Amino acid sequence: MAPPQGQMKPGRQLAVLAGLFVVLYLLVFFTSGASGSFTDRLHPRLGLDLVGGMRMTLVAQGKTPSAKEMEQARQIIEARVNGTGVTEAEVVTESDKNIVVSIPGSNTADLEDVGQPAQLFFRKVINSAQDVSGALAAATASPSPSASTSASPKPSSSTSASPKPSTSASTGGQGGGAAASATPSASASTSPSAAASPTPSAKALTQEQTATLDEVKKKVGTTVYAAAEALTAPVDVSTDPTAAMQYAKFADLTPAEVAVLPAKIQFNVPQIGCDQLGKRPVGSISDRNSQVVACEDSNKYLLDVSKVAGTDVGSAQAVPPNAQQAEWVVSLKFKGDGQDKWTDLTKEAVNKTGTTCEIKGNEGNCLVAVVLDNKVISAPEIRQVLTSDSTISGSFTSETSADLANKLNYGALPVTFQAEEAQHVTATLGAAQLKAGLLAAGLGMLLVIVYAFFYYRLLGSVIFLSLVLSGLLTFGALVWLGRTMGFTLSLAGMAGFVVSLGVAADSFVIYFERLKDEIREGRAPRSAVQRAWVRARRTIITANTVTVMAAVVLYLFSAGAVKGFAFALGLSTVLDLVVVFLFRHPMMEMFARTKAFMSPRVSGLGRVLQQANEDEADQPRRYRAKEA
């Protein structure tokens, strides 16, 4: 019988596999993140249960949150931690106010921002003043005529001198920067007209904050506090340097103490500087219905109530430089009635309605500050009413723009958290369990190989080499993925790799038993190899596809260790398919052309080949007997 059409050339598949190995291990040894000796570069990223890691407890501030709020916060924090891939992080709720975050390794950088509120507010700028607290401190320490001169509140002329991010708005994607400009040149207003506008009532203080405020009054003196409360504009130290000296004790307040002061005291007292304001506890200016004070570089801003919040932002995306823009920006799209709120806010800034703004831009319009947590990240002039999406632009890199977009996409936490000091935790399983896991994987592979050589003999070498190549591919992949997407190998992941050995063994059994069936049907071994492959590969692909689909579903609808198990199982199954097509089948084609393959004792086909030879020898005798 003629052999099937489409005979392959084994050398081509083997060459493709060799090229795949070369590319993979070049990535392992020479891509970014690979450092140290060659041995160091082969170390995979291990999970929390094997090597220990860092743990940080986030404590909810204020009143005790509801169970729903805590679960929502836990999910957001977990999404932030795992935002770059499978990290085997543990994010659990502990008691009714704590969330405990644990990550593998000793790098605390990954824990620094996970509990930050990332609350974004758009607030109109009412007034601006230069931070002169440093100059006043120097003048107090060593008074001299020159000190008063250097303390002159003189804001920067433009953001070009200090490359901080600024917002611009796009109108249907045309230009992107025509509607808003960077912070303009402006002088701090000292007129009392800001008091003419009704001031929103300050948020009610908690009992603890009230006690802190009482301590502040005693610390600075009730008379001095009353004088500060009576101020209607920032103290002008350029004309009368001694006028600010009575407020000197405000410079000694801690950021937590500054946070309980009314906004007008924070803004008008010159000794309260941006360093204190920037270090206030998280959530200090999260009340959108109160006026607040925040800084951008050395500029202090008195800000109106928030008309647009981060929750009105539908999505944020880091956009690389292109023909319309020369730098990285973060594109913002509003959702629901958020776009209407944004349009109304820009209309108020352009028409100068609502609360009076004492500082204006180059075209005479009000500024709108973009406030992230306690800091102003941009304060552009709104040049026209904006009815479409916006962008945050400035001196962004790909990393910083992606970080900001990541925070905004995951949303504001429903609860404000204070992070405690990160602590090192030991491995929950340790080195002994790591060795036990590796031993289990090795024993599993050894048993498969022993069975293969005992049952299939020469063909067992194909199984052995296939498993070795599959293991090398899998190991290289997990080392590279650990650097690029944060994949960490835990004991659960190792279990996934062990299970994949059974999947690989199944594909061998399917192929070799199909080969025996072809020989039993009377086909020559060389022809049977090709025919067995054509028929067996459908079953192999189907079986592996089902395993991969199960792993994908498990990965999508699970978390933590189970997620790692699913990822490892899916990865190893896919790589096994690669080895099946690029090594196992070509090697069988090459073996089929050797004399050893035709030997029942050597090939492992045993009785099947012997029975086929006996049937072939008996065929003429049966034919002659029938003829007689």
The confidence score (pLDDT) of residue 560 equals 65
Cβ proximity of 429 and 214 under 8 Å: no
Q: How much is the average pLDDT of 307-321?
A: 85
First to last CA, the chain: 28
Distance of CA 596 to the CA centre of its chain: 55
Q: Percent of the chain, pLDDT > 90?
A: 12
More confident residue, 422 or 331: 331
Q: What is the DSSP string of 452-515?
A: HHHHHTHHHHHHHHHHHHHHHHHHHHHHHHHHHT---B-HHHHHHHHHHHHHHHHHHHHHHHHH
User: How far apart, in whole angstroms, are the C-alpha atoms of residue 51 and residue 49?
Assistant: 6
Residue 285 has pLDDT above 60, yes or no: yes
The confidence score (pLDDT) of residue 292 equals 94
Domain boundaries, the chain: 10-43+429-617, 53-115+421-425, 120-152+165-412
Give residue 178's pLDDT band: very low, low, confident or very high (50, 70, 90): very low
Residue 109, class by beta-carbon neighbours within 10 Å (0-12 exposed, 13-18 middle, 19+ buried)? exposed
The H-or-E segment that residue 169 falls in is: strand 166-169
Distance of CA 597 to the CA centre of its chain: 53
Residue 162 has pLDDT above 50, yes or no: no
Instruction: Provide the whole-model pTM.
Output: 0.51
The confidence score (pLDDT) of residue 33 equals 63
CATH number of the structural domain 53-115+421-425: 3.30.70.3400
CATH homologous superfamily for the domain 10-43+429-617: Multidrug efflux transporter AcrB transmembrane domain (1.20.1640.10)
Residue 201 has pLDDT above 70, yes or no: no
The confidence score (pLDDT) of residue 606 equals 54
The answer to whether domain 120-152+165-412 has CATH 3.30.1360.200 is yes
DSSP 8-state secondary structure symbol assigned to residue 331: E
- pLDDT tens per residue, range 505-553: 788 888 888 888 887 777 777 788 888 888 888 889 998 899 999 999 9
Beta bridge partners of 128: 301
DSSP 8-state secondary structure symbol assigned to residue 139: H
Of 385, 389, 372, the residue nearest 313 (C-alpha): 389
Of 303, 291, 244, 296, the residue nearest 272 (C-alpha): 244
Beta bridge partners of 371: 121, 376
Q: How much is the average pLDDT of 308-316?
A: 82
Cβ proximity of 349 and 365 under 8 Å: yes
Helix and strand numbers (H, E) in the chain are 21, 16
Cβ proximity of 605 and 588 under 8 Å: no
The H-or-E segment that residue 435 falls in is: helix 430-456
Tokens for 118, please give them. Answer: 């990332």
The confidence score (pLDDT) of residue 153 equals 38
The confidence score (pLDDT) of residue 386 equals 78
Of 34, 106, 98, 32, the residue nearest 60 (C-alpha): 98
User: How many CB atoms lie under 10 A from the CB of residue 510?
Assistant: 19
